[in-house]
Amino acid sequence: MINPKLTINCRGTLLDLTGPVVMAILNINDDSFFPGSRFTDPQLIVEQAGRMLMDGAQILDVGGMSSRPGAPVIEEQVELDRVLPVVELLQQMYPKAIISVDTVRAKVAEKAIEAGASIINDISAGRIDPEMYATVAALQVPYVLMHMQKRPENMQEAPAYEHVVQDVLDFMIREIAILRELGLKDIIVDPGFGFGKSIEHNYDILRSLHVFQMLETPVLAGLSRKSMIYKPLNIKPETALNGTSVLHLAALQQGARILRVHDVAPAMEVIKLFELL
């Protein structure tokens, strides 16, 4: 039975999140923390998107700006020039695909939706562009509300919380109330693993991820190849796939409905085995 609280309307396409789905990361820049996720050539972007969809991804998340620790916020026109042609191309090549755009800017969000995207994924929760909330509410598209302490360029400089799970949960409660007041219907929450959080903070959140279900919105977990995996194991992002799969299972057990991943096929295997459990 479909749970209406776990169904989002992607510009007319209903996405049922009663069971977990995969959001595939498609970085169209040359600065993201995992080199294997970077694509700048249009033909390679189309081919990679096709592989991801064939492997089982239900959402393609297009990002024109890196959000790795220390990354600068790029110029708006640079982001537009990167993102819009790719969204148009993907919409043309894969018209049934659900395209998300990873952006902190209201204008990029608006233009991307016009170009064929149907979800906005904002790491800043409207903190970088104060017009973002009103824009997504007017567009009436699903919005990924993510928690981040500070900004990408300084977020990992001594992150501190009183009680990280409670602090992030309280943040989500406040922001969801604002978005609901503006009339936004479809909200997805992302606690922001690695965004202004120590390794210990990240594991505290993962251990208690189930508490975010009280928000009655789908929960997205962005864990793929992050430092909370490769630093404790003393490895590099390139060899962090096994650890990623382990934490994906933990996130699903804690109620995550969307896994945002670099590697679609392994994530789909985790979901299938989780469902057998």
Give the tens place of pLDDT for each residue, 129-146. 999 999 999 999 999 999
Q: From the candidates 226, 236, 257, 272, give the one annotated as an active-site residue.
A: 226
Give pLDDT, residue 149: 83
CA distance 187 to 21: 16
CA distance 102 to 82: 12
Per-residue confidence at 171, pLDDT binned at 50, 70, 90?
Answer: very high
Q: Is 260 a catalytic residue?
A: yes
Give pLDDT, residue 74: 74
The domain ranges of the chain are: 19-272
Classify residue 38 as exposed, middle or buried by CB count within 10 Å of its CB (0-12, 13-18, 19+). middle
Q: Is the pLDDT of residue 244 over 80?
A: yes
Give pLDDT, residue 164: 95
Phi, psi of 21 (to 5 degrees): -130, 165
What three-state secondary structure class fits 230?
A: helix
Q: Is the pLDDT of residue 1 over 50?
A: no
Q: From the candidates 105, 151, 257, 260, give the one annotated as an active-site residue.
A: 260
CA distance 212 to 42: 38
Q: What's the distance, CA 248 to chain centroid?
A: 14
Fold of 19-272: TIM Barrel (3.20.20)
What three-state secondary structure class fits 37?
A: helix
Q: Is the pLDDT of residue 159 over 90?
A: no
